[in-house]
Chains A and B, each alone.
Chain A
């Protein structure tokens, strides 16, 4: 068999894409693991982050790095507010209500963005170089996105492992009834996790706007796949979500290589549906 350079390129691109998906899945899993509510509108937080970077950079002329920092904090604040204003009052209600409410938020944010920013596709107009490596073309922006996503995940891991608040987050995701008896104020931990989840979405926005145009419906491109990755990895299971992100991104990339780009998604989603028949709890989940 001839060593297929294009196949290797597709695999590398799949890995690079997986990094950003893993970051988004981590944010969604973090919130779910701690608060026990799935933010269906998670990718819309990413959309808000992308717009804030776009406006900051294109209209106010702020340096991109500053815009990214602003976006991370702005979306973290948005996550905080979503918990404080929307999730907190419905914490004790059946899960279906919580899904409907965050689903409602999705449409609210989409519509509001359309109203404010119109449906135009916008981008930063950046022209990042394409790296040529042994006859393979690797997009520089994807490489940056991948490395940054990995660094962010390591930082989050250290936070969860090395701090008391991190330990409380790990503890509350396991037994919320006991952890409160040790003086942990659950509402505080929920707010921290929601802000962290928002911050990760803000960072994800920074990485995605290097590669994609922003428009009000951009969430559709990343929301469903992020949610499916989390379910595939076992909802709330961060390690599982991390691995599932690379499985899905590889399926998309290889499907796109052997057939067409759109087929990549079709194959990934079919794989997901079949896995739900075989392992409804997810690849690494133990929840029913």
Chain B
């Protein structure tokens, strides 16, 4: 479905993404992990057209995405969420999602249809309730759900979920993990999931791709990747560097996750 080949992005000499290749198949739920600054979000920005790539190719169902403006990428059937929620604060909750449903649809749709899709999407993320609510009053968890609802209301075939769980408590994280799993299995949407907190990710994803310093260092089934010496090295290794705190928490969550304990049984 998505074929990324030798994707590179340079920022004035700094190499953010270095010749990364991977494939995602229809119906898969793939985890994209790596320490802070490893290039995960940049890969998302390149696929969604927020950034233009330096070299390489991104093919979605055979169509080249490189060079397409973001709104065209959206119409191809790719939606994304942001690590830090970016709601439109001047618009109410339902408007936020309805704008996305109306303009994000690949074919023009009627006003009423957009409202319907927006309400559906809010229902899927369990944010129904009062749609006229001011988005400023949503908490961290509510804003994450709004991000997801906006993405879903465009009826994507591929969802790029960027660190959906940052800033949530344990129960909320469990729920969000289940929600992505639900979106994949019930709605048949292919998902690439970028995440820092690996415990939950490792439990739900089919496959994991690991980036470090813009390069792909490992790829495979969750248990294979967790045992990969290169991955362990990255997560345990450079503790003296900036960003080691994030790596720390990741390692802890990796080791304490149910997944690891299950494996040891």
A181 CA to B68 CA in the complex, in Å? Answer: 12
Closest chain B residue to A189, Cβ basis: B103
The residues of A that contact B154 with a CB separation of less than 8 Å are: 182-183
Q: How far is the CB of A30 from chain B (nearest CB, A)?
A: 14
The residues of B that contact A184 with a CB separation of less than 8 Å are: 71, 99, 103
Question: Contact: A171 with B90, CB < 8 Å?
Answer: yes
> Chain B 70-90 against A: per-residue CB contact (8 Å), 1 yes, 0 no?
110111000110100010111
A274 CA to B89 CA in the complex, in Å? Answer: 31
Interface residues of B in 219-251 (CB under 8 A from A): none
Interface residues of A in 142-201 (CB under 8 A from B): 164, 167-168, 170-171, 173-175, 177-186
Closest chain A residue to B95, Cβ basis: A167
The residues of B that contact A164 with a CB separation of less than 8 Å are: 98-99, 102-103, 111, 114
Closest chain B residue to A187, Cβ basis: B69
Question: Contact: A174 with B89, CB < 8 Å?
Answer: yes
Question: Contact: A167 with B105, CB < 8 Å?
Answer: no
Q: How far is the CB of B90 from chain A (nearest CB, A)?
A: 5
Residue in A173, A182, A186 whose beta carbon sits within 8 Å of that of B99 in the complex: A182
Residue in B50, B70, B73, B99 whose beta carbon sits within 8 Å of that of A167 in the complex: B99
Report the tally of A-B residue pairs with Cβ distances under 8 A.
Answer: 68
Question: Contact: A183 with B89, CB < 8 Å?
Answer: no
Main secondary structure of the interface of A (DSSP, over half): helix
A175 CA to B69 CA in the complex, in Å? Answer: 16
Question: Contact: A180 with B71, CB < 8 Å?
Answer: yes
A193 CA to B226 CA in the complex, in Å? Answer: 52
Interface residues of B in 159-205 (CB under 8 A from A): none
A184 CA to B100 CA in the complex, in Å? Answer: 8
The residues of A that contact B9 with a CB separation of less than 8 Å are: none
Q: How far is the CB of B217 from chain A (nearest CB, A)?
A: 28
A177 CA to B48 CA in the complex, in Å? Answer: 11
Chain B interfacial residues counted at CB < 8 A: 29
Q: A167-B95, A167-B98 are in contact. Are A178 and B103 (CB under 8 A)?
A: no
A180 CA to B49 CA in the complex, in Å? Answer: 9
Question: Contact: B86 with A178, CB < 8 Å?
Answer: yes
Closest chain B residue to A160, Cβ basis: B90
Residue in A170, A174, A182 whose beta carbon sits within 8 Å of that of B74 in the complex: A182
The residues of B that contact A183 with a CB separation of less than 8 Å are: 71, 74-75, 100, 103-105, 154
Interface residues of A in 29-82 (CB under 8 A from B): none
A186 CA to B49 CA in the complex, in Å? Answer: 14
Question: Contact: B103 with A174, CB < 8 Å?
Answer: no
Chain A interfacial residues counted at CB < 8 A: 18
Closest chain B residue to A167, Cβ basis: B99
Q: How far is the CB of B95 from chain A (nearest CB, A)?
A: 5
Q: A178-B86, A181-B50, A182-B104 are in contact. Are A171 and B79 (CB under 8 A)?
A: no
Question: Contact: B70 with A170, CB < 8 Å?
Answer: no
Question: Contact: A175 with B71, CB < 8 Å?
Answer: no
> Chain B 97-139 against A: per-residue CB contact (8 Å), 1 yes, 0 no?
0111011110000010010000000000000000000000000
The residues of A that contact B100 with a CB separation of less than 8 Å are: 182-183
Q: A174-B89, A181-B80 are in contact. Are A168 and B99 (CB under 8 A)?
A: yes
The residues of B that contact A181 with a CB separation of less than 8 Å are: 48, 50, 70-71, 73-74, 79-80
The residues of B that contact A185 with a CB separation of less than 8 Å are: 69, 71, 103
The residues of A that contact B150 with a CB separation of less than 8 Å are: 182
Q: A164-B98, A183-B71 are in contact. Are A174 and B88 (CB under 8 A)?
A: yes
Closest chain A residue to B50, Cβ basis: A177
A175, A177, A181: most-surrounded residue (chain B CB, <10 A): A181
A173, A179, A180, A185: most-surrounded residue (chain B CB, <10 A): A180
Closest chain B residue to A173, Cβ basis: B90
The residues of A that contact B79 with a CB separation of less than 8 Å are: 181
Q: A164-B114, A170-B90, A171-B88 are in contact. Are A186 and B71 (CB under 8 A)?
A: yes
A183 CA to B86 CA in the complex, in Å? Answer: 16
The 28 sampled A-B contact pairs (Cβ below 8 Å) are A164-B99, A164-B102, A164-B111, A164-B114, A167-B91, A168-B103, A170-B91, A171-B88, A171-B91, A177-B50, A179-B88, A181-B71, A181-B74, A181-B79, A181-B80, A182-B71, A182-B99, A182-B100, A182-B150, A182-B154, A183-B75, A183-B100, A183-B154, A184-B99, A184-B103, A185-B69, A185-B71, A186-B71
A-to-B contact residues, CB < 8 Å: 164, 167-168, 170-171, 173-175, 177-186
Shortest beta-carbon contacts, A-B, top 7: A183-B104, A180-B70, A182-B100, A183-B74, A183-B103, A171-B88, A184-B103
Known contacts A170-B91, A185-B71; 16 further A-B pairs (Cβ under 8 A): A164-B98, A164-B99, A164-B103, A179-B88, A179-B99, A180-B69, A180-B74, A181-B70, A181-B71, A182-B71, A182-B74, A182-B99, A182-B150, A183-B104, A184-B99, A186-B71
